[in-house]
Amino acid sequence: MEQVEIETVRVAIKRLDGNVAGQLPTYQSEHAAGMDVYAHLDKPMIVKAGEIELVPTGFAMALPIGWEAQIRPRSGLAVKHGIGVPNGPGTIDADYRGEVKVALINHGKEDFIIENGMRVAQMIVKRVPIVEWLEVDELPTTARGVGGFGHTGH
């Protein structure tokens, strides 16, 4: 694969009580965009059909200021079992020091069992600019203007 500019970022991560044997998020392939995130459970959890559960991961982190993490669904779980992330992508703020948790929703017809160590979602770490509003009376015009929500056709 062609080597272009690669950016790396160091992020402080902490295993929470009981996560000594647990796994921290890991890339599953050499150039994966997302790191898979593991359920950290004492006993299996059930996400009943049509319901939402919050899955603990056993870690907390300190993202650098100006960065965020996104918790996204795994396609395999979505396609095979109807498992999604209801707040997807979930947002982890740079100032959050609590346990990272994964909200899962079961859109399928069958209850879904989560075992300890199951890869329940994936996490992407991204830069996010801090916005300063510049309030104006008139916005710059564009060809699109106010057209949206299917304005350009199908």
Ligand X SMILES: O=c1ccn([C@H]2C[C@H](O)[C@@H](COP(=O)(O)OP(=O)(O)OP(=O)(O)O)O2)c(=O)[nH]1
What is the binding site for ligand X (CB under 6 A)? 71, 87, 90-93, 96, 100-101, 103
Say if residue 17 carries a ligand binding annotation. Answer: no
DSSP code per residue over 8-29:
----EEEE-TT-SSS---EESS
Cβ 36 vs Cβ 122: under 8 Å: yes
Say if residue 83 carries a ligand binding annotation. Answer: no
Nearest approach, Cβ of residue 16 and ligand X (Å) = 12
Nearest approach, Cβ of residue 105 and ligand X (Å) = 12
Closest to ligand X by CB, 26 or 91: 91
Nearest approach, Cβ of residue 18 and ligand X (Å) = 17
Say if residue 93 carries a ligand binding annotation. Answer: yes
Cβ 41 vs Cβ 56: under 8 Å: yes
At residue 77's C-alpha, the angle toward residues 71 and 81, to 5°, is: 135
CA dist., res. 38 & res. 86, Å (int) = 18
* Closest alpha carbon to 7 in 125, 95, 112: 125
Nearest approach, Cβ of residue 69 and ligand X (Å) = 8
Residue nearest to ligand X (CB): 90
Say if residue 91 carries a ligand binding annotation. Answer: yes
Q: Which residues are annotated as a binding site for substrate?
A: 74-76, 87, 91-93
List binding-site positions. Answer: 74-76, 87, 91-93
